[in-house]
Amino acid sequence: MTSHLTRPVAIIGAGSSGLAAARAFLRYGFSLRVFEREDDIGGNWNFGKPHARVYDTTHTISSKPFTQYPDFPMPDDFPPYPHHTQILAYLRRYCEHFGLSEYIRFRTEVVACEPADGGGWHLTIRDRDEDTTRTELFRAVIVANGHNWSPKIPDVPGSLDGEVIHSADYRDASIFEGKRVLIVGAGNTGCDLVVEAARHADAAFHSTRRGYWYAPKFVLGKPGDQIYDLLLSLRLPAPIVQTCLETAVRLTVGHPTKAGLPEPDHRFLETHPVTNDLLIYYASHGRIQPCCNIARFDGDRVVFDDGSSQEVDLVVFCTGYLIDIPFLDERYFRIRQARPETYLNVFSPHSDDLFFIGFIQPDSGQFKLVHWQSVAAARYLRAQLTAPARADTFRRRIQDEVGRRADGGIEYARSSRHFLEVQHMDYLRKLDEAIADLKVY
């Protein structure tokens, strides 16, 4: 029995989520082991690593107060929207400050994860240097392998003479030089890339399925998300918040149609917010040509749903990423009715000792939310040892709340892009309740 209690928990991934989890589980007295398949921390923010998805010009979309961990602020000399190199430097400092490095095993990849009889999990771990695998037993498993790395590539009929890539393989704008470039998708990456194409390519086309709202990075001289937080903290009904935001957009960068972009077919916030001032700027200077959905490839041309076509040398699919947890039976994180069958995207109804950290797509920064996810998970595991009655109550809560989404009253567009979408204030309030229920000291 004692060996079971002192057995370490396993954390899969040393990106921003895995690090926050390591810190929280250490704080609550667990011993741990972090498995990281690369030779360094940082995951997505470690530019140039095979699974990092930032590109040379990436700055954060969310401003500092929400992007940083709540107990470890980003330095004052970082700008409001730091560059990816600064985020990586910040993660390194976090790791050093809280002494997390000693728990991380680099170049070890978790290839399988099975529940053990009598509690805990068997992990099969591949050592990438020696190319050997071994299986070990852990007290609990924290899945923090990220959800922004496995490219989602749409099926387009026909074939194109030019090159077709996914944004996952995009590093810098040099590939645009001298080409006619089509960017597909209006997520934050797609919008960044079409702006780069407008600057560097011979021609820049932007194919989107629908019209979108483009929020500016600054409103009233403050980072826009801080104004947004002000609206949310006043607890106004969602339609009023949406109207305020739409008005703010009209008064700053302007309605998208003014720049010749398609009319949004939905209200603000119903799709994941896109923050980009430059897209509207370049579109209104005629440097970005909006196009509708792609119908097919045809030799040197791309044909669109409305029958129009363009000659294109390079297509970049910025069509997002798939939730991909290859080492785990899919029933533990199943998508039903366009949302995960979990409680708060962290707790699985099928297991007491399995947690998902970082599986959210917030309308804000990630690290803060992930910190509190980790605290909630660590407390639940701790409660199972020290306060079983509380843990039982919480277990019932998990069962009752499965699949309920923290959407702040917004109905998100039904697409795989919004499976993990959460409204951050609503989400934090719900996490706060969970954490308060799990008082363990």
Partner 1 sequence: MPLFSDDRDEAVMRPLDWIFPSEAVDREVLHVAPEEPAADRPPLLFVHGASMGAWCWKTHWMPAAADLGWNCYALSLRGHGNSGGQKRRHRWLFRDYVHDVLQTIAELPSPPILVGHSMGAAVVERVVERYHAPCAVLMAPPGDRIGLVTAGQLLRHHPTDFFGGLIGRSVPPRHKYLFAPHVDRRATRSARTRTRPLSALNQYELLLPDRTRNALCPLIVVGMEHDTLIPFSALDRYARRRGTRPIFIPRAGHTPHLEPDHWKDALQITLSAVEATLQKLP
Ligand X SMILES: Cc1cc2nc3c(=O)[nH]c(=O)nc-3n(C[C@H](O)[C@H](O)[C@H](O)COP(=O)(O)OP(=O)(O)OC[C@H]3O[C@@H](n4cnc5c(N)ncnc54)[C@H](O)[C@@H]3O)c2cc1C
97 binding partner (options partner 1, ligand X, none; Cβ < 5 to 8 Å by kind): partner 1
| The dihedral formed by the CA atoms of 82, 67, 9 and 94, expressed in degrees to the nearest 10 | 50
Which is nearer to partner 1, 137 or 435 (by Cβ)? 435
**What gap in Å lies between CA 407 and CA 418, rounded to an integer?**
11
For the chain, first and last CA: distance in Å?
22
Is 8 a binder of partner 1 (CB under 8 A)?
no
Which is nearer to partner 1, 74 or 197 (by Cβ)? 74
Tokens 């989400």, located at residue: 427
Both structure tokens of 32: 């741990």
Interface pattern 307-346 for partner 1 (x via CB under 8 A): ----------------------------------------
- Could you tell me if residue 329 is left (phi over 0), alpha (psi between -120 and 50 degrees) or otherwise beta? beta
Which is nearer to partner 1, 71 or 169 (by Cβ)? 71
* Span 24-53, contacts to partner 1 by CB under 8 A: 27, 29
* Sign, Cα dihedral of 102, 105, 107, 109: negative
Both structure tokens of 366: 């990630």
Which is nearer to ligand X, 67 or 384 (by Cβ)? 67
51 binding partner (options partner 1, ligand X, none; Cβ < 5 to 8 Å by kind): ligand X
Tokens 């890539």, located at residue: 165
Q: Is 59 exposed, middle or buried (0-12, 13-18, 19+ CB in 10 A)?
A: middle
Element of type H or E holding 184: strand 180-184
Which is nearer to ligand X, 37 or 417 (by Cβ)? 37
Is 96 a binder of partner 1 (CB under 8 A)?
yes
Q: Which of 372, 394, 412, 419 binds partner 1 (CB under 8 A)?
A: 372
65 binding partner (options partner 1, ligand X, none; Cβ < 5 to 8 Å by kind): partner 1
Quick check: helix, strand or coil at residue 298? strand
Is 429 a binder of partner 1 (CB under 8 A)?
yes
**What gap in Å lies between CA 115 and CA 328, rounded to an integer?**
10
Which is nearer to partner 1, 294 or 425 (by Cβ)? 425
Both structure tokens of 58: 């990436």
Which is nearer to partner 1, 230 or 240 (by Cβ)? 230
Is 97 a binder of partner 1 (CB under 8 A)?
yes
Interface pattern 56-75 for partner 1 (x via CB under 8 A): --------xxx---xxxxxx
Which is nearer to partner 1, 219 or 261 (by Cβ)? 219
93 binding partner (options ligand X, partner 1, none; Cβ < 5 to 8 Å by kind): partner 1
* Span 133-172, contacts to partner 1 by CB under 8 A: none
Which is nearer to ligand X, 145 or 207 (by Cβ)? 145
CB of 260 to ligand X, least distance (A): 26
Residues making up the chain, counted from first to last = 441
Tokens 């309308």, located at residue: 363
**What gap in Å lies between CA 387 and CA 426, rounded to an integer?**
27
**What gap in Å lies between CA 184 and CA 199, rounded to an integer?**
17
**What gap in Å lies between CA 76 and CA 203, rounded to an integer?**
39
Which is nearer to partner 1, 118 or 389 (by Cβ)? 389
Q: Which residues bind ligand X (CB under 6 A)?
A: 12-18, 35-38, 43-45, 51, 53-54, 58, 60-62, 67, 109-110, 144-146, 148-149, 188-189, 327, 358, 365-366
Distances from the Cα of 125 to the Cαs of 11, 36, 108, 128, 313, in angstroms?
12, 10, 6, 9, 42
Q: Among candidates 2, 1, 21, 20, which has minimal Cα distance to 10?
A: 21
CB of 425 to partner 1, least distance (A): 8
| The dihedral formed by the CA atoms of 283, 286, 292 and 295, expressed in degrees to the nearest 10 | -130
Is 299 a binder of partner 1 (CB under 8 A)?
no
Q: Which of 57, 101, 226, 309 binds partner 1 (CB under 8 A)?
A: 226
208 binding partner (options ligand X, partner 1, none; Cβ < 5 to 8 Å by kind): none
Is 102 a binder of partner 1 (CB under 8 A)?
no
212 binding partner (options partner 1, ligand X, none; Cβ < 5 to 8 Å by kind): none
Quick check: helix, strand or coil at residue 418? helix
CB of 192 to ligand X, least distance (A): 7
Kindly state the greatest CA–CA separation across the chain: 69
**What gap in Å lies between CA 173 and CA 119, rounded to an integer?**
50
Q: Which of 172, 220, 230, 306 binds partner 1 (CB under 8 A)?
A: 230
Which is nearer to ligand X, 125 or 302 (by Cβ)? 125
Q: How many Cα atoms occupy the beta-carbon half-sphere of 395 within 13 Å?
A: 14
Which positions lie near partner 1, rule CB under 8 A?
27, 29, 64-66, 70-77, 93, 96-99, 226-227, 229-230, 233, 372, 375, 425, 428-429, 431-432, 435-436, 439
